[in-house]
Structure 1
Amino acid sequence: MTRRHRIESLVLLLGAVTLLWSLFDAGDDLVATVGRQPGILGAFLVVITVGELFRVVMPSGRIAAPVATGAGIALALLGPVYGLAEFDVAAGVVTLVVATALGLALVLRTLLGRPAQWYLVAARTVGIAITATLMRLGDGDGRGVWVWELADRSPWVVALVMMAAAAAGLFADLVLTGLVQSERWELPATTTLRDELGEAQALTFGVLAAGPLVAFLAPVIGLLALPLGLLPMVLTYVAVRRYATNRATYRQTIAALSRLTEAAGYTPAGHASRVAERSVAIARSMGLHADQIQELEYAALLHDLGQVGLRSPIPDGATVLAAPDDQRRIASEGARIVRRTEVLDDVADLMERQTTPFRHVREWGEEVPLASRIIKVANAYDDFSHGRTDVVSVDAALERIHLGLGYEYDPEVVEALIRTNPVPGPR
């Protein structure tokens, strides 16, 4: 087990242990239990499998399958079903059905040539197991808190317990997924966990509400509760997917605009995208919020746009080698162009302050956004290294940056640059 994949391996192991527990909890009557509830289990199996095939990738890279997750939570919460035998199965049976559906979906995704992330299946399986177990505490026949409802207790008590059980399972799923993402992207765990819990809150709350809605409709309308209860979740999924698509298109438009200086010969090919990529990596390492990172990425992509107003190009497009007045003039011109869009004023502000030396912050207390300081360091790194990634070029670039440490460049940003900078070969 490598250090890089240690957490992911632990999540997979936890998922495997959960499956073994599910087999033990289901007991010897697993086949008989499935035989008593073929309609319910079959319907949920199909919905979860199909829902897992329709994922949405958020701008931060988070992968969500809201329909599959909502259906899995609904199965864990399910009790009486109109027209069918009461769903009084053990928590292990519920977990096995959900895990089977998720595994089947991943096999289909693999056959379709799509990436298969088994850690997502493991995390979701653990979350469903927690929800199903909490719903059945205090009762050995599989009905759990539904016994209270059948005993004429207040329905709102059952609703509260349902929401708490669903929230606990979903929280465990998000935490495990966030820890794996933290390891993969080499970011602080607090940053990825915050993004997991905060991004697309409507989607998260929709998933949380879908399960109890299906479970409360089932005693009245039977299995029709499954499509009707998940319909709001499907509509939310469509809206979030459209939002993510629009964000991706918007980003592509800005990236295309950033290549204007490359096409005109003012900057080297790929310079803007490299600076943006490096800026985003630094920002994530420093714990910036997803919305701040988005604005930072746009500003980094467009940071050299002001060079189109130059009479003659700067050698190699390296603004870091230009005179301070020229740097400020280029930044101001780029910000002026961006402000004409009337929708990117905050991005323009970041662009305009990117040339401000760090000593203005340290000595004069000037307010310079952290994002602007990040762009300044990322741009200097790419200018000094000429976009190369070999050890000699990287060391030379870092050495030049260290000469201006605390004067031109923010030491904390430079430290984050080093922390996120992959260097090939031995140092």
Structure 2
Amino acid sequence: MTPPPRVGALIATRARPSRRVEPIVLLLGAITVLSSLITESARLDLAVRDHSSVLAAFAVAIVVGEQFRVQMPSGRVAAPVSTASAIALAVLGSVEGHPVFDVPAGIVAIVVAGSLCVGTLVGRVLHRRTHWYVVAARTVGVGVTASLMRAVPLDGGAGEWAWQLDDGRPPWLVAVVMMGAAAAGLYVEIILTGLVRAQRRSLPVASALSEELGEAQALTLGLLAAGPLVAFLAPVVGLAALPLGLLPMVLTYVAVRRYTTNRATYRQTIATLSQLTEVAGYTPTGHASRVASRSVSIARSMGMHAEQVQDLEYAALLHDLGQVGLRSPIPDGATVLAAPDDQRRIASEGARIVRRTEVLDRVADLMEGQTTPFRHVREWNEKVPIESRIIKVANAFDDFSHGRTDASSIEAALERIHLGLGYEYDPEVVEALIRTVHQPSHT
């Protein structure tokens, strides 16, 4: 069965390989390290000899920090303790009991890159996998911070790091410049990883960057303070500044990890509830999770915000919950083949059950609107949330394809949906569906 020309053209366009961003990020990381080795090779031995204890302490902190990672809801993996340690090394000046840390930016980049690689290898041994592009992006980001602090000549020909040695400089000004340099490096890292994730998951760049910046906000604010805090404590307490200055970052890490754990548990609870119709024999096994996964992919492809995607996922998981009130199951649980009145009754019953929780009213609204044909929006200006229109398309796709992923089943499902384009289904959502059909599953 051949799909209509419009569908076939979109599938062909979507299947074409896009320009790879990941190799470019890896290349930038390699260039950062190689250029540092070339320019600082003559001073590397002297720096290691004069500052061995300081470099070793920060290297250990970075390696250990790499083992304490947190996975954000989008799948983004952060290592805040490791990143904070690297930033602290980039902005470090005087250290009590040790020579002034007058080390070029290139040597800082080499030490950080080597420590990140060791930490990543240790993590892989412990079955904590980190992509190398993340290491490269973090190396480039720290390199930017170190360059701004140590390689940009200000008054007197020295970088801003030397301001820490000048009692005439206002401490608040030194702190502001430190945080500015740290912010520049952090946002370079976030942008690079966001670009790779956008390419890997076939998302709009703006959507991927917005998701990266939104999720990283809490950690970013903590990281901006942690590095300068270590640098300000070091002239007073020496290397003890490292654990003392990183303590707030550790507490932030614990709080963020607890938040992500609670959110994952909450989702698992909803996913378990969604399986009620499967256990009772009303819907095929895995139908709810497939519809939810497809809905999330469509939403991200359309550039929706993370909060909207979360509510959409919950509504998609529970979209068939109303079938538990049926006297006899619908064949194959395919609500798309049921009469319109039956579809509305199932959606309303599911929404009524969800509203009884008193915490998922927004999700219930999305469930209730999933059966409304798109022509009500086009012809009567009826307010139907975009999330509900996405669930309608994702559910129809899974019903028509019977959950199969072979090419013929996918094309048949897309053809059936295309027949209702503009009448039952939102054309914009259908185009987003087609873009996600061959979407890579890795993140």
1: distance between equivalents of 2:122 and 2:84? 20
Which of 116, 134, 153 lines up with 1:138 in the alignment? 153
User: Is the contact made by 2:201 and 2:439 (CA closer than 8 Å) also made in structure 1?
Assistant: no
| Displacement of 1:393 | 1.2
- Paired residue secondary structure (2:383): coil
Q: 1:5 to 1:40 in 2, by over 3 A?
A: farther
- Encode CA deviations 1:128-187: one digit per residue, 9 max, x unaligned: 000000001116999621333433122222112111110100000000000110111110
The corresponding residue for 2:358 is 342
Matches within 5 A, 1:297-312: 297-312=313-328
**Range moving further from structure 2, 299-308 or 383-392:** 383-392
Aligned match of 1:147 in 162, 166, 172?
162
Q: Is 1:324 matched with 2:340?
A: yes
RMSD of aligned residue pairs (Cα, Å): 1.7
After TM superposition, list the pairs within 5 Å mapping 1:80-119 onto structure 2: 80-119=94-133
Deviates more, 1:108-117 or 1:211-220: 108-117
1:19 corresponds to which residue? 33
* Aligned pair partner of 1:128 in 129, 142, 154: 142
Provide, for residues 260-285 of structure 1, a one-character-per-residue CA deviation record: whole Å limited to 9, x for no partner. Answer: 10000000111001100100000000
Shift of 1:201: 2.0
Q: Distance in 2 between matches of 1:182 and 1:298?
A: 23
Q: Does residue 53 of structure 1 match 2:67?
A: yes
Q: Which residue of 2 aligns with 1:405?
A: 421
Matching of residues 273-292 of structure 1 within 5 Å:
273-292=289-308
Structure 1: how far apart are the matches of 2:300 and 2:183? 27
Equivalent-residue separation in structure 1 for 2:407 and 2:227 (angstroms):
53
**CA-CA distance at 1:113 after TM superposition:** 2.9
Higher relative contact order (CA 8 A, sep 6+): 2
Asked if the contact 1:373/1:409 (under 8 Å) is kept, the reply is yes
1: CA distance, partners of 2:177 / 2:237: 22
Letter in 1 for 2:230: V
The residue that corresponds to 2:207 in the other structure is 191
Q: In the alignment, which residue of structure 2 is the partner of 1:43?
A: 57
Deviation at 1:115, TM superposition (A): 1.9
In structure 1, the partner of 2:248 is 232
1:418 equivalenced with 2:419 (yes/no) = no
Within 2, Cα distance between the matches of 1:29 and 1:140?
A: 24
Q: 1:166, 1:382 → 2: CA distance?
A: 46
Secondary structure (helix, strand or coil) at the match of 1:6 reads: coil
Matched residue, 1:223? 239
Letter paired with 2:312: L
Which residue of structure 2 lines up, in the alignment, with residue 78 of structure 1? 92
User: Is this contact kept in 1: 2:113–2:139, CA < 8 A?
Assistant: yes
- TM-score w.r.t. the length of structure 2 is 0.93
What SS class does the counterpart of residue 347 from structure 1 fall into?
helix
| 1:182 equivalenced with 2:195 (yes/no) | no
User: Structure 1 residues 143, 423: closer, same or farther in 2, change over 3 A?
Assistant: closer
Unmatched segments (≥5 aa) in structure 1 = none
Secondary structure of the structure 2 residue equivalent to 1:267: coil
Q: Is the 8 A contact 2:97 2:238 kept in 1?
A: yes
What's the offset of the Cα at 1:423? 8.9
The aligned counterpart of 2:9 is none
Stretch moving more, 312-321 or 221-230: 221-230
Equivalent-residue separation in structure 1 for 2:155 and 2:38 (angstroms): 14
C-alpha change, 1:396 and 1:133, in structure 2 (3 Å) is same
**Is residue 78 of structure 2 the alignment partner of residue 64 of structure 1?**
yes
Supply the AA of the counterpart residue of 1:148: W
Among candidates 374, 378, 400, match of residue 358 of structure 1: 374
Distance apart, 1:415 and its partner CA: 0.3
Question: In structure 1, what is the equivalent of residue 274 of structure 2?
Answer: 258
C-alpha contact (below 8 Å) 1:88/1:142 kept by paired residues: no
Unaligned runs of 5+ in 2: 1-15
State the distance in 2 between where 1:51 and 1:423 align.
Answer: 33
Stretch of structure 1 that moved more, 6-15 or 104-113: 104-113
Please state if 1:30 is matched with 2:49: no
One-letter code of the match for 1:367?
Answer: K
Give structure 1 regions of 4+ aligned residues with deviation exceeding 4 angstroms.
2-5, 139-143
Q: Is contact 2:343-2:371 (8 Å) kept?
A: yes
Partner letter of residue 313 of structure 1?
P
Post-superposition offset of 1:422: 1.9
Give aligned pairs, total.
423
Of 198-207 and 279-288, deviating more is 198-207
Q: Is this contact kept in 2: 1:14–1:126, CA < 8 A?
A: yes
| Structure-1 separation of matches of 2:264 and 2:137 | 27
SS of 1:164's equivalent in the other structure is helix
Q: Which amino acid aligns with 1:138?
A: P
> Could you tell me how far apart the structure 2 residues matched to 1:29 and 1:318 are?
70
What is the match of residue 8 of structure 2? none
Contact 1:25–1:90 (CA under 8 A) maintained in structure 2: no
| Structure 2 residue identity aligned to 1:131 | T
Amino acid at match of 1:335: A
Deviations 1:319-365 (A, max 9, x none): 00111111000000000101111111111110011101111111111
Change (3 A) 1:10 1:391: same
Specify whether residues 412 and 336 from structure 1 end up closer, same or farther in structure 2 by C-alpha distance, changes over 3 A only.
same
